[in-house]
């Protein structure tokens, strides 16, 4: 029988490897910029055309390469950074696998110019789809320029798969931010289609953060500085009052490498516990330094995931460090929203057992998103996974499960009482209303989010909504990253009644906001809208329209702490029950609950 196993030609093997490392133009930016950092550069400029589809160019003033190294750099597993497996435990550079350039060259047309200080002339190499087209001496300054053109030109399927220009640019900016924050002393610039998006001078860490996210950041940052035998932590946390209801800027770096670490994120959240409004997420920029031997960065192709030898201790240290900073800087807790307790139980005389608050029986198999029309909530930290298997949303109308028929009957009865209904607002947070079966409790903010969400969704389909024209238009400067997001959604915003016009130099003017909005501050509304939008960006289960409607609803819904009149509560109640899915907020959180008569009776027995 004939032998059937063949070695793949290098060009094919490289294309396969490229799939892991190079997923989109942003990956090219990341890999090239990291190489420039590893080469000891003090200045790195990035030029992008068409969101990286036609050109990603990275120029540095690092130590360059010899003629031979330039040629070798495109070979797989060619690296100057490690020589043995042993070195994997002492990695201090960003790269080490020697895969990136080979992968890029396999799926694009690459031109490299490079020169070392000691060489007279530089080297020029052109390589298309792993095939060397040209190699010759060239005039060049000390350093390296990589020009990556026509990414995925030889893999049409891949090229088609790329998202809209705006989306790809946003990914590029995200990667850019991660590297520049980790290396504040390096000068960086980023230019897209001849427009300069960022120009960052050499700076310290705090200045760099302000350079990337806006000057206003400076006042909100509190320093963190802790040294232990396991890990050193420096950096900044945002003051609690500046925390948004939605994740904004959260960054962990380990040995100057950006990492995602949901587990350690929870340590920061824990430190802030009790001093943040419900749902708020603080910003943080935490730089961890640890012995490379105690960290494994080799668990993921893009190296954004790492494993610590002693993760629990690192968790504890982060918790303590952040807490200490909050205390040391005497950061005053914002007391707007206390802990969850909705109804205060009067203090009982000693000796009498405190009654336990009854747990409403919620059908755990309920799935509000089963109908397919609505987006599944982002798997947020507090969204119970088991909602996934749920079925019948009507069951929530009556808290304990009942037969379908009596359920209908009870619902009708509830509605009847509503004709003589009265509303009470508790802590300017919950709306209470007696119904036949007991007391209905509604979370005012979530209810309003649901109402607005459905309205906005409709107007996205049907066309323009009434705009409340501002008497005094507000002008503000956005960060380049946020500007890209705004361009992505501004047409939709206008349809929903939010009129934001773009000026030069990342400035925008808010000329009108939706008439339905209960957010008194259009500027705050714009910021939280963008922040909300960002959160759901990486959740593919949320459609584009749902995403923008959800962000608008969150940004314009009535806040906790806002007093409502009888009429307003009544209106909200009616509008809520006119919704197609009144039981859940757009993010999938419960909007209402009923404290049943049975439960009330039990308390008095």
Q: Nearer to ligand ADP by C-beta: 64 or 368?
A: 64
Binding to ligand ADP (CB under 6 A): which residues in 22-41?
31, 35-36, 39
- Tell me the C-alpha distance between 166 and 173, whole Å: 10
Going by C-alpha positions, the residue among 177, 137, 10 that lies closest to residue 77 is 10
- Tell me the C-alpha distance between 154 and 454, whole Å: 44
Q: Nearer to Mg ion by C-beta: 97 or 116?
A: 97
Per DSSP, the residues of 125-176 read EEEETTEEEEEEEE---SEEEEEEESTTTT-HHHHHH---HHHHHHHHHHHH
What is the edge-to-edge ordering of all strands in the sheet holding 131-138? 131-138, 122-128, 109-115, 143-149, 55-60, 43-49, 187-192, 195-200
Interface with ligand ADP, residue 97, by CB under 6 A: yes
In whole angstroms, how close is the CB of 95 to Mg ion at the nearest point? 3
Interface with Mg ion, residue 79, by CB under 5 A: no
| Angle formed by the axes of helices 480-495 and 544-556, nearest 10° | 90
- Tell me the C-alpha distance between 564 and 18, whole Å: 57
Q: Nearer to Mg ion by C-beta: 102 or 552?
A: 102
Position with the least CB separation from ligand ADP: 95
Kindly tell me which residue out of 14, 61, 123, 144 binds ligand ADP, with binding defined by CB under 6 A: 144
Kindly tell me which residue out of 25, 62, 64, 95 binds Mg ion, with binding defined by CB under 5 A: 95
Stretch touching Mg ion by CB under 5 A, among 88-96, 176-184, 339-347, 552-560 = 88-96
Kindly tell me which residue out of 35, 45, 395, 585 binds Mg ion, with binding defined by CB under 5 A: 35
How far apart, in Å, are the Cα atoms of 217 and each of 38, 287, 334, 551, 553?
Answer: 29, 17, 18, 22, 26
Strands 467-477 and 507-514, by their bridges, are antiparallel
Per DSSP, the residues of 479-526 read PHHHHHHHHHHHHHHHHTT-EEEE-STTEEEEEEEETT---S-HHHHH
Interface with ligand ADP, residue 122, by CB under 6 A: no
In whole angstroms, how close is the CB of 108 to ligand ADP at the nearest point? 14
Interface with ligand ADP, residue 46, by CB under 6 A: no
- Tell me the C-alpha distance between 595 and 597, whole Å: 7
Going by C-alpha positions, the residue among 216, 220, 208 that lies closest to residue 253 is 208
In whole angstroms, how close is the CB of 106 to Mg ion at the nearest point? 15
Residue 378, both tokens: 């982002």
Q: Tell me, residue by residue from 56 to 85, as one string, x for binding to ligand ADP by CB under 6 A and - for no binding.
A: ----x-xxxx-------x----xxxx----
- Tell me the C-alpha distance between 579 and 207, whole Å: 47
How far apart, in Å, are the Cα atoms of 193 and each of 46, 64, 136?
Answer: 11, 27, 29
Binding to ligand ADP (CB under 6 A): which residues in 378-407?
none
Interface with ligand ADP, residue 249, by CB under 6 A: no
In whole angstroms, how close is the CB of 75 to ligand ADP at the nearest point? 8
Interface with ligand ADP, residue 105, by CB under 6 A: no
Q: Tell me, residue by residue from 149 to 168, as one string, x for binding to ligand ADP by CB under 6 A and - for no binding.
A: --------------------
Give the 3-state secondary structure of residue 52.
Answer: helix
130, 39 Cβ separation under 8 angstroms:
no
- Tell me the C-alpha distance between 277 and 504, whole Å: 35
Q: Nearer to ligand ADP by C-beta: 77 or 354?
A: 77
- φ, ψ of residue 163 in degrees (nearest 5): -80, 180
In whole angstroms, how close is the CB of 73 to ligand ADP at the nearest point? 3
In whole angstroms, how close is the CB of 27 to ligand ADP at the nearest point? 12
Q: How many residues does the chain have?
A: 605
In whole angstroms, how close is the CB of 128 to ligand ADP at the nearest point? 17
Q: Tell me, residue by residue from 299 to 328, as one string, x for binding to Mg ion by CB under 5 A and - for no binding.
A: ------------------------------
Interface with ligand ADP, residue 95, by CB under 6 A: yes
In whole angstroms, how close is the CB of 194 to ligand ADP at the nearest point? 24
Stretch touching Mg ion by CB under 5 A, among 87-95, 164-172, 226-234, 521-529 = 87-95
Which residue shows structure tokens 């009498």?
A: 352
In the list Mg ion, ligand ADP, none, the entry touching 242 (Cβ below 5 to 8 angstroms by class) is: none
- Tell me the C-alpha distance between 311 and 343, whole Å: 39
Q: Nearer to ligand ADP by C-beta: 62 or 377?
A: 62
Interface with ligand ADP, residue 13, by CB under 6 A: no
Interface with Mg ion, residue 479, by CB under 5 A: no
Interface with ligand ADP, residue 430, by CB under 6 A: no
Give contact residues for Mg ion (rule: CB under 5 A).
35, 95, 100
Give contact residues for ligand ADP (rule: CB under 6 A).
31, 35-36, 39, 60, 62-65, 73, 78-81, 95-101, 144
């Amino acid at each position: 029988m004939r032998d059937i196993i063949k070695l793949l030609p290098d060009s094919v093997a490289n294309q396969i490897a490229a799939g892991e490392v190079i997923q989109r133009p942003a990956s090219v930016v990341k890999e090239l910029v990291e190489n420039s950092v590893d080469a000891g550069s003090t200045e790195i400029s990035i030029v992008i055309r068409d969101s990286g589809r036609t050109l990603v160019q990275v120029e540095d003033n690092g130590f360059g390469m010899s003629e031979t190294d330039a040629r070798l750099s495109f070979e797989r597993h060619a690296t100057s950074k490690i020589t043995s497996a042993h070195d994997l435990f002492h990695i201090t550079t960003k790269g080490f696998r020697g895969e990136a350039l080979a992968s890029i060259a396999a799926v694009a047309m690459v031109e490299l110019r490079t020169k070392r200080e000691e060489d007279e002339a530089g080297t020029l190499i052109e390589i298309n789809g792993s095939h060397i087209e040209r190699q010759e001496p060239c005039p060049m300054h000390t350093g390296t320029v990589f020009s990556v053109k026509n990414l995925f030109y030889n893999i049409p399927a891949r090229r088609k798969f790329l998202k809209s220009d705006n989306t790809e640019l946003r990914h590029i900016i995200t990667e850019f931010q991660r590297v520049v924050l980790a290396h504040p002393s390096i000068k960086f610039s980023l230019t897209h289609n001849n427009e300069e998006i960022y120009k960052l001078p050499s700076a310290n860490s705090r200045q760099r953060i302000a350079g990337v996210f806006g000057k206003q950041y400076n006042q909100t940052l509190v320093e963190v500085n802790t040294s232990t035998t396991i890990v050193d932590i420096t950096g900044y946390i945002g003051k609690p009052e500046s925390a948004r209801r939605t994740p904004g800027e959260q960054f962990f770096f380990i040995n100057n490498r950006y990492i995602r670490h949901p587990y350690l994120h929870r340590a920061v959240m824990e430190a802030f516990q009790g001093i943040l409004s419900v749902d708020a997420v603080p910003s943080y920029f935490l730089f961890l330094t640890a012995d490379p031997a105690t960290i494994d960065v080799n668990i993921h192709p893009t190296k954004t995931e790492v494993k610590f030898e002693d993760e629990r201790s690192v968790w504890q240290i982060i918790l303590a460090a952040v807490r200490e900073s909050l205390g040391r800087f005497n950061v005053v807790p914002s007391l707007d929203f206390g802990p969850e307790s909705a109804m205060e139980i009067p203090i009982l005389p000693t000796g009498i057992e405190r009654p336990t608050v009854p747990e409403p029986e919620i059908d755990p198999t309920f799935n509000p998103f089963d109908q397919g029309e609505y987006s599944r909530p982002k798997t947020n930290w507090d969204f119970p996974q088991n909602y996934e298997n749920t079925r019948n949303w009507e069951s929530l109308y009556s808290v304990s499960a009942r037969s379908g028929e009596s359920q209908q009957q009870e619902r009708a009865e509830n509605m009847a009482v509503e004709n003589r209904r009265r509303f009470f607002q508790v802590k300017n947070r919950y709306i209470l209303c007696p119904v036949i079966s007991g007391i209905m409790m509604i979370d005012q903010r979530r209810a309003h989010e649901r109402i607005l969400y459905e309205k906005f969704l409709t107007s996205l389909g049907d066309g323009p909504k009434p705009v409340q024209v501002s008497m005094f238009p507000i002008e503000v400067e956005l960060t380049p990253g946020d500007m890209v997001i705004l361009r992505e959604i501004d047409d939709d915003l206008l349809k929903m009644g939010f009129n934001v016009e773009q000026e030069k130099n990342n400035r925008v003017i808010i000329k009108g906001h939706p008439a339905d909005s209960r957010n008194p501050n259009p500027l705050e509304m714009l910021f939280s809208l963008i922040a909300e939008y960002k959160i759901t960006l990486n959740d593919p289960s949320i459609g584009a329209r749902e995403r923008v409607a959800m962000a608008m609803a969150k940004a314009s819904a009535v806040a906790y702490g806002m007093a409502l009149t009888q009429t307003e509560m009544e209106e909200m109640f009616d509008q809520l029950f006119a919704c197609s899915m009144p039981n859940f907020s757009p993010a999938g959180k419960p909007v209402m609950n009923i404290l049943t008569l049975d439960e009330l009776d039990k308390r008095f027995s």
